[in-house]
Amino acid sequence: MAVGVLIAVSCSTRYPARMSEMSVADLATDPMEQVRRWVADAQTAGVPEWDAMTVATADASGAPSARMVLLRGIEDAGFRFYSNYASRKATELSVNSRAALVIYWREQQRQIRAIGSVSQLTPEESLDYWSRRPRASQLSAWASYQSAPIDNRTTLEEEVTKIEQQFSDQDEIPRPSFWGGYLISPTEVEFWAHRDNRLHDRLVYRKDSGANWNISRLQP
């Protein structure tokens, strides 16, 4: 029989009381502008890994999966990230082009949650980011059949060495056709801020049928 273990947590020390009320008047009229503001706040505050983002996808049957990725672009249309097109998330997006994301900054007691449709970036947009990646990351992208089983790590490292030799005489490594970017275009974006006694602030933007953003407050 399985035995559960209860872990005691002192909630009073996890979140210092320093957040003031967040109101609709504090927010930008467009959610992506508000995302930029909060990201800038996190960067200014020196939040480590401010660009870490959870992306959740689902397969054709609705079974979900989630993983951490890097937020690699904020634009008016949405959030950018990059992946191997044969990865699990890419495979799921090919049959169910909806996703959810969460960005959480513990140090600032804030999180952003969004849901929306996902589309591939153009080859030109993917190349622009690819050309700015470190060479070692480019080699790894070529060598890895992301999400596919592998016997051991040695096999993977040997493949990286093989790819490195293949491109040893090239100053610029070409972008593989199986790697590129995605854009999550949100229809809903929520901004959450901690407040004392679990009475957190939750303000959500929702896009209506006329593509207008409406802001409302949610109960915590």
Active-site amino acid positions: 198
Q: Rounded CA gap, 121 and 182, in Å?
A: 5
Q: Rounded CA gap, 90 and 126, in Å?
A: 15
> Which phi and psi angles does 94 have, rounded to 5°?
-70, -20
Residues 15/192, Cβ–Cβ less than 8 Å: no
Question: 157 has which bridge partners?
Answer: none
Q: Rounded CA gap, 51 and 37, in Å?
A: 13
Element (H, E) at 113: strand 110-120
Residues 128/181, Cβ–Cβ less than 8 Å: no
Residues 107/191, Cβ–Cβ less than 8 Å: no
